[in-house]
Amino acid sequence: MMDAGGKSEGLIRLEIDGRTVSVPSESTILDAAKILGIEIPTLCYSPLIEPYAACRICSVEVEFPGGKKRIVTACNYPVWEGIKVYSDNGKVRRIRRMIVEMLLARCSSVAVLQDLAAKYGIEEVRLEKQDEKCILCGLCVRVCAEIVGKAAISFAGRGLHRRVATPYDRQTEDCIACGACALVCPTGVIRVEDMEGRAVAHEELQLGPAKAVTVPFLQAVPNVPYIRADRCIHFQTGGCGHCAEVCDREAIDYEMKDEEIEVDVGNIIIATGFELFDPSVMRQYGYGRYKNVLTSLEFEHLNSASGPTGGRIMLANGDAPSVVGIVHCIGSRDKRYYEHCSKVCCMYALKYAHLIKEKTAAEVYNFYIDMRCSGKGYEEFYDRLLAEDVRFVRGKVGEISSVPIGEGEEGKLIVRVEDTLVGMVRRIPVDMVILCPAMKAQPDAKELSRVFSCSVGRDGFFIEKHPKLAPVSTTSDGVFIAGACQGPKDIPETVAQGAAAAAEVLSLIDRKEIEIEATTAVIDEERCSGCRICNTLCSFGAISFDEQKEVSVINAALCKGCGTCVAACPQGVIKARHFTDRQINSEIEGILR
Amino acid sequence: MSFEPRIVGFLCNWCSYTGADLAGTARIKYAPNIRSIRVMCSGRVDPVFVIKAFSEGADGVLIAGCHPGDCHYQEGNYKALRRYLLLKRILPEYGIEPERLKLEWIAASEGERFAHVVNGFTEQVRRLGPMNCKGALIESMKDDVLIHEEHAAQGTGERR
């Protein structure tokens, strides 16, 4: 479309509240108002979805070039050349006031309508009041159909009976529980409920990423977002795709797949860390049943300044706790689960107690078996906490329940514990319980140890070559271990081990050449009959057959010196250095003398 | 005085010997009847070593290696298993009960298991009593070992 007025091609000029703006021809009045920063209230509008004009709250008055005036809905009314829009004149305000009043009469307890009523000065609703929650804006229906591509909900009924429903009002398999409808709902009437109990640990605290596009965690390197296919609507229905639309770098590629990359390296440091014991198997502690029973990791997240509550310590209902119990040794130092001590829990439990005291007025109980505060400055910290009036109860907690018996137990979690210092069983009502679960080895550590031919102990942690002299080495040359994969340890120790492992690797790289074990096998070529029995025995491919000489030869660089070929040679012409037949025979003679 | 068997143990460097070491550092008590010989791998154990040990007066021989799949040399322990099964059939030819030979898998972390295996095997050999194999059979065994050793030493200044 050509324009002779010297204006930009394809742009339309209009005036809103006396201010002029040029916008592309496909824009709506609402789009134009947004550019000018003029606020027009909306309820049924979402920039992601086709406008629908159900709520009428965005009504504005338009004056056409001929002087004719009309009330239209800004969200779906296209811009015209030369129109004048009045977004907030007396007539518009009157109309909106009536709309809000009618909506509020239907949904008298919806906060967003109450706010609008206050804005438009509605003090008393003149119509009969109802207590609906849904304003029938249709956002949820449209988002499900347009973006999710599922149409699991739609309008049902007519006129007065119109409502949003699933097919036949039954639980529907079409719903993929993406939560898009709940997200767009302006009144908050739609809620996605977790049917299995614990995808959401804490109403305020969604552990792990809640959105499909997320960074793994704030300190992640590289700190770039990724798409979780199990949560992403696009991967489930093929719909949505909004992230790709809004990304002007075109960085989003739905075709990307996990791939295996082979990298040639000379040294490997295993630093696979630990796994936290899942306390839900210890039913008596109610983890998974009571919302205010958290693991230490969950509390850490709750307490984090970059966490879901901005670091505010709160219960599931948003209140501040008045009593908090910290239960030590969940699954660790326990013959039924893990015998080892997780080492770090005592100290972080003390840290939590200190932080709770600092941030809230709550009373803090520590339920411990033994306080193990060895390390520089640790015992002093414990002493400080004793002085800070943190309660310490020595005894293993037997049960956490919500069943009140005595006074003051109503609405609380009751920690039943044998106080071994007093010599009696106590019931202590608390608001929040923090469990300190065992640090356990990664479940695939054994598998990994086979890959690297090093070993793991009975507890599943990697075994170092020597506990004192080679604490980060393994029985495989060039393979090192660092951190909690070797055993429970705190951050300073982990950092020290990591640095030690890196130094070991650097010293190997720096040397430019590798020392190999002197215990290799050699073949006496003069006497080798060329039977080739040894050729297939070698697991390392170190033995080959010299076709010209018709003898087998050993590549000393590949030979690891196990001696399997030596024991197999029918001619007895393979010699194992440092483990010769003569040496071993002499040993046998010696020990049986 | 009760019979105290003499047992020769061939322990692989990476698993069983380390396991034995762990039993020691953990102060776990086990029968003192075993005398250990360290080899790099249970696959190094030549069947002749076992025959030789019996001919020199051992009452039992224990071969211990890494658990299947855990071998430091990938599959030396499987080679040991083959030879062990072969030995089980050969030993009766010399008049030796096959129960006097045992193959066990003991990992580096299994100090307790090492002690358990040694104690169990010592008891087993104790019940069998002293070696019945005497005189001519012992001599033939010694001869066989000697032939093997001489054959191996042929043409070289030393035995391999």
pLDDT digits (tens, 9 = 90+) for A72-108: 999 999 999 999 999 999 999 999 999 999 999 999 8
Provide the number of CB pairs (under 8 Å) joining chain A to chain B: 122
Asked if pLDDT for residue A2 goes beyond 60, the answer is: no
Which residue among A476, A566, A589 sits closest to B44, beta carbon to beta carbon?
A566
CA angle A321, A434, A292 (to 5 degrees): 55
- Residue with the two structure tokens 């015209």: A80
CA distance B120 to chain A (A): 21
Tell me how far apart the alpha carbons of residues B54 and B49 are, in angstroms, rounded to a whole number.
Answer: 9
- Residue with the two structure tokens 């499909």: A212
- Model pLDDT, residue B19: 93
Tell me how far apart the alpha carbons of residues A362 and A354 are, in angstroms, rounded to a whole number.
Answer: 11
List where CATH 3.10.20.740 sits in chain A.
11-119
Q: What are phi and psi of A394, to 5 degrees?
A: -90, 110
What residue in A sits closest to B71 (Cα-Cα)?
A: A453
Higher pLDDT pick, A475 / A426: A426
What ranges in A289-421 are assigned the alpha helix state H? Answer: 296-303, 345-359, 378-387
Phi-psi region of B72 (alpha: psi -120 to 50; beta: other; left: phi over 0): alpha
CA distance B99 to chain A (A): 19
Which residue among A562, A576, A580 sits closest to B76, beta carbon to beta carbon?
A562
Strands A397-401 and A413-419: antiparallel
Residues of A with CB under 8 A from a CB of B: 449-450, 453, 455-458, 463, 475-476, 519, 524, 526-527, 537, 539-540, 560-564, 566-568, 571-576, 579-582, 584-585, 587-589, 591-592
Query: Given this structure, which CATH class describes domain A441-511?
Result: alpha beta
Q: Does A527 sit within 8 Å of B156, measured CB to CB?
A: yes
Q: Does B160 sit within 8 Å of A527, measured CB to CB?
A: no
Query: Given this structure, which CATH class describes domain A11-119?
Result: alpha beta
Among the residue ranges A214-218, A372-376, A582-586, B106-110, the one predicted with the least confidence is A214-218
Which residue among A539, A560, A592 sits closest to B58, beta carbon to beta carbon?
A592
A560: CB partners within 8 A, 6+ apart: A517, A520, A540, A542, B73
Task: With cut-offs at 50, 70 and 90, classify the pLDDT of residue A219.
Answer: confident
For the segment A364-384, the average pLDDT, to the nearest whole number, is: 95
Which residue among B37, B79, B156 sits closest to A587, beta carbon to beta carbon?
B37
CA distance A457 to chain B (A): 5
Average pLDDT value for chain B: 90
Q: Nearest to residue A290, comparing CAs of A432, A101, A454? A: A432
- Model pLDDT, residue A194: 52
Asked if pLDDT for residue A206 goes beyond 70, the answer is: no
Q: Does A458 sit within 8 Å of B70, measured CB to CB?
A: no
Q: Does B47 sit within 8 Å of A567, measured CB to CB?
A: yes
Task: With cut-offs at 50, 70 and 90, classify the pLDDT of residue B154.
Answer: low
What residue in A sits closest to B6 (Cα-Cα)?
A: A592
Task: With cut-offs at 50, 70 and 90, classify the pLDDT of residue A383.
Answer: very high
The DSSP symbol for A528 reads: -
Residues of A with Cβ-Cβ distance to B73 under 8 angstroms: 539-540, 560, 562, 564
List where CATH 3.50.50.60 sits in chain A.
276-440, 441-511
Among the residue ranges A60-69, A146-155, A317-326, A491-500, the one predicted with the least confidence is A146-155
Which residue among A526, A566, A582 sits closest to B159, beta carbon to beta carbon?
A582
Residues of A with Cβ-Cβ distance to B44 under 8 angstroms: 562-564, 566-567, 576, 579
Neighbours of B143 (CB within 10 A): 11
The DSSP symbol for A221 reads: S
Asked if pLDDT for residue A203 goes beyond 60, the answer is: no
Residues of A with Cβ-Cβ distance to B160 under 8 angstroms: 524, 566, 572-575, 580-582
Which residue among A456, A567, A581 sits closest to B43, beta carbon to beta carbon?
A567
What ranges in A12-107 are assigned the alpha helix state H? Answer: 29-36, 90-106
Q: Nearest to residue B101, comparing CAs of B113, B115, B87, B114? A: B87
CATH 3.40.50.720 assigned to A521-591:
no
For the segment B20-47, the average pLDDT, to the nearest whole number, is: 94
Which residue among A463, A527, A564 sits closest to B155, beta carbon to beta carbon?
A527
Asked if pLDDT for residue A580 goes beyond 70, the answer is: yes
What's CA A43's distance to the chain center, in Å?
32
For domain A276-440, give the fold.
FAD/NAD(P)-binding domain (3.50.50)
The DSSP symbol for A428 reads: E
pTM score above 0.90 = no
pLDDT one-digit tens code per residue, A289-306: 998 999 999 899 889 887
- Model pLDDT, residue A6: 42
List where CATH 3.30.70.20 sits in chain A.
521-591
The DSSP-derived string for B85-131 is: HHHHHHGGGGT--GGGEEEEE--TT-HHHHHHHHHHHHHHHHHH-S-
Tell me how far apart the alpha carbons of residues A576 and A324 are, in angstroms, rounded to a whole number.
Answer: 66
CA distance A517 to chain B (A): 11
Strand partners, A392: A366
Asked if pLDDT for residue A3 goes beyond 60, the answer is: no
Among the residue ranges A87-101, A137-151, A192-206, A326-340, the one predicted with the least confidence is A192-206
Q: Does B49 sit within 8 Å of A519, measured CB to CB?
A: no
- Model pLDDT, residue B10: 97
Average pLDDT value for chain A: 89
- Residue with the two structure tokens 């009373």: A363
CA distance B16 to chain A (A): 12
Tell me how far apart the alpha carbons of residues A496 and A498 are, in angstroms, rounded to a whole number.
Answer: 5
pLDDT one-digit tens code per residue, A131-170: 888 999 999 999 988 888 888 899 999 988 999 998 888 8
Task: With cut-offs at 50, 70 and 90, classify the pLDDT of residue B17.
Answer: very high
Asked if pLDDT for residue A554 goes beyond 70, the answer is: yes
**Within 13 Å and on the Cβ side, how many CA atoms surround B25?**
12
Tell me how far apart the alpha carbons of residues B20 and B49 are, in angstroms, rounded to a whole number.
Answer: 21
Tell me how far apart the alpha carbons of residues A430 and A257 are, in angstroms, rounded to a whole number.
Answer: 47
A325: CB partners within 8 A, 6+ apart: A364, A365, A367, A397, A413, A415, A428, A430, A432, A433, A434
Domains of chain B in sequence order? 7-132 (3.40.50)
Asked if pLDDT for residue A207 goes beyond 60, the answer is: no
Asked if pLDDT for residue B160 goes beyond 60, the answer is: no
Asked if pLDDT for residue B135 goes beyond 80, the answer is: no
A505: CB partners within 8 A, 6+ apart: A267, A269, A480
